[in-house]
Amino acid sequence: MQLTTDPGAFPPTPPRSTTDARLIAEHDWAAFDAVEEMKDHWDRPGWTSSTRAYYWMLTFPDAAPLIEHARRCQKELRHLAFDDIDADGLHLTLGRIGRIDEIDPAHVDRLVAKAHERTPESFTLGAVPLTASRGAIRYSVAPWTPVIQMHEALSAAGTESGIPPRKPTSLLRPHLGIAYCNRPISADIVRDAIRPLREFDAVDALVQKVRLVELRREGQAYRWQVIHSLELR
């Protein structure tokens, strides 16, 4: 899959490599270096307290080293007063399937069945240096290649089951957030806070499941109910 440039994605351009952790991290940081002001992540038209939507996600409830690493970073960044993502809320979003009131449960059942036919392989994902986007502090992650392949498989399953993907794989930019920006703030302030933490050692997490969840927003946090866990090969 060839990733493509899009101004709505972040970073807008893909990195030169989807496997080289150093190049991915440098590319993410360069993109954030071009941001002048971070925005309120929660200013999202269309999301209310009653919104419920299906998503494919990677979640990390048992990744103790990753959770501890994220907590350490959050503690160091507490003076920014962002909205920290709880340990049980760490996730990598693979894609939105659709609002629950738009999708018939039978389509969801077919989607799960088709996804089982295309079960990807498990892999290890590294959370490499901390960076940020326009609306969140996050890890760069590497390698991207197995995440891209997983997205392709799930997108194909969606198309075959009558629920085509909302965004193509070509626009995927894998990342793992740890804190949401909750107001406009100079990106320089955030870069100064993050820069020392980029020296922390990377941490790995084994990805053995992908989950289909029903996502909702509760205050300044996302919560979800797992609809189906797909065990990877």
Q: How high is the mean pLDDT of the chain?
A: 95
Domain that holds residue 56: 21-42+52-231
- pLDDT at residue number 165: 84
Q: What percent of the chain has pLDDT over 90?
A: 91
Is residue 83 assigned to a domain? yes
pLDDT(230) > 90:
yes
Give me the pLDDT at residue 202, please. 92
**What is the average per-residue pLDDT within 15-31?**
97
Is 127 part of a structural domain of the chain?
yes
Q: Could you give the CA distance from residue 65 to residue 48 in angstroms, rounded to a whole number?
A: 33
pTM over 0.85: yes
Token pair belonging to 72: 């350490």
pLDDT at 196 over 90: yes
Mean pLDDT of 224-232: 96
Look at residue 224 and tell me if it is in a domain.
yes
- Is residue 10 domain-resident? no
Residue 47 inside a domain? The answer is no
The number of domains in the chain is 1
pLDDT tops 90 at residue 45: no
Q: Is the model's pLDDT at 28 over the cut of 90?
A: yes
Mean pLDDT of 71-90: 97
Domain membership flag for residue 181? yes
Indicate if the pLDDT at residue 1 is higher than 80.
Answer: no
Assigned domain for 58 exists? yes
Q: CATH no. for residue 80?
A: 3.90.1140.10
Output the pLDDT for position 161.
Answer: 92
**What tens digit of pLDDT does each residue of 111-164 get?**
999 999 998 899 999 998 999 999 999 999 999 999 999 999 999 999 999 998
Closest to 135 (Cα-Cα) out of 8, 40, 11: 40
Residue 128 counted as domain residue = yes
Query: Mean pLDDT over residues 2-19, rounded?
Result: 96
Instruction: Answer yes or no: is pLDDT of 201 > 80.
Output: yes
DSSP code string of the chain: ------TTSSSSSPPS-SS-HHHHHHHHHHHHHT--EE--TT--TT--TT--EEEEEEE-TT-HHHHHHHHHHHHHTGGG--EEPPGGG-EEEEEEEEETTTS-HHHHHHHHHHHHHTPPPPEEEEEEEEEE-SSEEEEEEE--HHHHHHHHHHHHHHHHTT---SS-GGG---EEEEEE--S-EEHHHHHHHHGGGGGSPPEEEEE-EEEEEEEEE-SSSEEEEEEEEEE--
